[in-house]
């Protein structure tokens, strides 16, 4: 029996012990677990598109999209479906295999659902994996997105239950868990992680990973974000997290969720190449690819490919279920939907 079988019964003391390992021992364990489930020289590549920016009513202390903070962010209405499809085509041409769409909502309104459903259908017709993050979902909304073919739904826990109230007060931890349960029940895959560097203690990073690792099913994708400090948000002046503490979080995530994609997510813009390479060694095997993540900078795509080449890393292929015939049919169906549902009109906000 392998040392790195999937477990859902991790104890706090076990996860604390992983964080306390000598750095080299922790990296060795993480790389060993990583190689059991993945090609160590492949990284899954995603592109993130903000389909609706700003004016969010929530008070997340890290977020420049909150209407409560003056960050100079220009508010934008929901993108036209046609524009989203164009962005997805560009992402695919640049090497992305998954296209993620994010909207700054507490939860989607009924009038918005048909538009996001059409976005999912259109992006899937291109042969890309699809992911959305739209805030909280009820059961019906989750079923509707699943019915459109959405592959992943992103809804982060952000941090530990104990520290959560210091970061957000307008949505409870249980609210987040309820959305994740609705996503699972609808049959979609889960993208769920958190943010480090928000002033939390190491035990809060332990608590976050404990929550994720002890879910009945591990999230298929686990984004680990480094706080991007934005002027005007409550965390703008937060002290920097030690890069080794960030790498430790990646490594422990890999060990306790060995079959999940661990995403090196927000904050890469401020990381040097050596830190990113160490994150890949620690088990990160997914990145966001492109010029920005929703509203904050991200390393340009060509720089990522240059680093991949130097490290001997290749983008992980996406084994799409579309045959050529099926893909042609899907595109034809989208043209019909465009006429029937005013596919290329923008949503009225």
CA–CA gap between residue 286 and residue 316 (Å, rounded)? 9
Q: What is the DSSP string of 312-344?
A: T-EEPP------HHHHHHHHHHHHHHHHHTTTT
Assess whether 49 carries a catalytic annotation. Answer: no
SS3 147: helix
Contacts of 287 (CB under 8 A, 6+ apart): 43, 44, 45, 46, 263, 264, 265, 268, 304
Cα–Cα distances (Å) from 84 to 81, 112, 330, 345, in that order, read: 5, 14, 17, 11
Token representation of residue 67: 């209407």
Measured CA to CA in angstroms, residue 95 lies from 44, 128, 287, 332, 338 at distances of 10, 11, 12, 24, 27
Do 46 and 286 form a contact (C-beta atoms < 8 A)? yes
Read off the pLDDT of residues 285-331 as tens digits, 9 standing for 90 and up: 998 775 443 344 444 557 888 888 999 999 888 764 433 343 444 44
191 is annotated as an active-site residue: yes
CA distances from 324 to 48, 130, 316, 329 (A): 26, 19, 21, 9
- What is the rounded distance in angstroms from the CA atom of residue 269 to the CA atom of residue 140? 37
Q: Which residue is listed with tokens 């422990």?
A: 252
Predicted confidence band at 71 (pLDDT cuts at 50, 70, 90)?
low
Q: SS3 of 99, please?
A: strand
* Chain mean position to CA 201: 23
Distance CA 115, CA 348 (A): 10
Average pLDDT over residues 134-141: 94
Instruction: Quick: pLDDT tens for 162-184.
Output: 999 999 999 999 999 999 999 99
| Mean pLDDT value across residues 334-349 | 42
Tokens of 136: 């909280």
Q: Which of 205, 248, 254, 263 is catalytic?
A: 263
- Residue in 49, 98, 171, 191 annotated catalytic: 191
Return the higher-pLDDT residue of 319 and 110: 110
Cβ partners under 8 Å of residue 190, min gap 6? 152, 153, 155, 180, 183, 184, 217, 219, 220, 221
263 a catalytic residue: yes
Q: What is the pLDDT of residue 328?
A: 43
Q: Which of 60, 171, 192, 205 is an active site residue? A: 60
CA distance 270 to 292: 13
User: Minimum mean pLDDT among 90-94, 148-152, 175-179, 213-217: which range?
Assistant: 90-94
> Exposed, middle or buried by CB within 10 Å (0-12, 13-18, 19+), for 162?
middle
pLDDT of residue 173: 95
What is the per-residue pLDDT for 93? 84
């Amino acid at each position: 029996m392998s040392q790195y079988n999937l477990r859902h019964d991790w104890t706090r003391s076990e996860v604390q012990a992983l964080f306390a390992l000598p750095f080299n021992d922790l990296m060795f364990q993480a790389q060993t677990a990583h190689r059991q489930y993945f090609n160590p020289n492949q990284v899954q590549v995603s592109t993130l598109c903000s389909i609706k920016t700003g004016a969010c009513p929530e008070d997340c202390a890290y977020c420049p999209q909150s209407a409560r903070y003056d960050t100079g962010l220009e508010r934008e209405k929901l993108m036209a479906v046609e524009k989203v499809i164009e962005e997805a085509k560009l992402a695919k041409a640049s090497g992305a295999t998954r296209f993620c769409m994010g909207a700054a909502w507490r939860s989607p309104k009924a009038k918005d659902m048909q538009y996001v459903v059409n976005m999912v259908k259109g992006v899937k017709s291109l042969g890309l994996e699809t992911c959305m993050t739209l805030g909280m979902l009820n059961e019906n909304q989750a079923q509707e997105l699943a019915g459109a073919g959405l592959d992943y739904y992103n809804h982060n826990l952000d941090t530990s239950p104990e520290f959560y109230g210091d970061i957000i007060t307008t949505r409870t931890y249980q609210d987040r868990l309820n959305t994740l349960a609705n996503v699972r029940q609808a049959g979609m895959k889960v993208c769920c992680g958190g943010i480090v560097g928000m002033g939390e203690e190491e035990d809060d990073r332990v608590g976050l990973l404990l929550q994720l690792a002890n879910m009945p099913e591990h999230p298929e994708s686990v984004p680990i974000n480094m706080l991007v400090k934005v002027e005007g948000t409550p965390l703008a002046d937060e002290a920097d997290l030690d890069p080794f503490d960030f790498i430790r979080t990646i490594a422990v995530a890999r060990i306790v969720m060995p079959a999940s994609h661990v995403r090196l997510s927000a904050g890469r813009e401020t990381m040097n190449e050596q830190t990113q390479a160490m994150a890949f060694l620690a088990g990160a095997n997914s990145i966001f690819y492109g010029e920005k993540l929703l509203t904050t900078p991200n390393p340009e795509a060509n720089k990522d490919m240059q680093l991949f080449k130097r490290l001997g890393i290749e983008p992980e292929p996406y084994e799409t279920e579309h045959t050529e015939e099926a893909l042609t049919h899907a595109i034809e169906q989208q043209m019909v939907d465009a006429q029937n549902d005013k596919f290329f009109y923008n949503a009225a906000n």
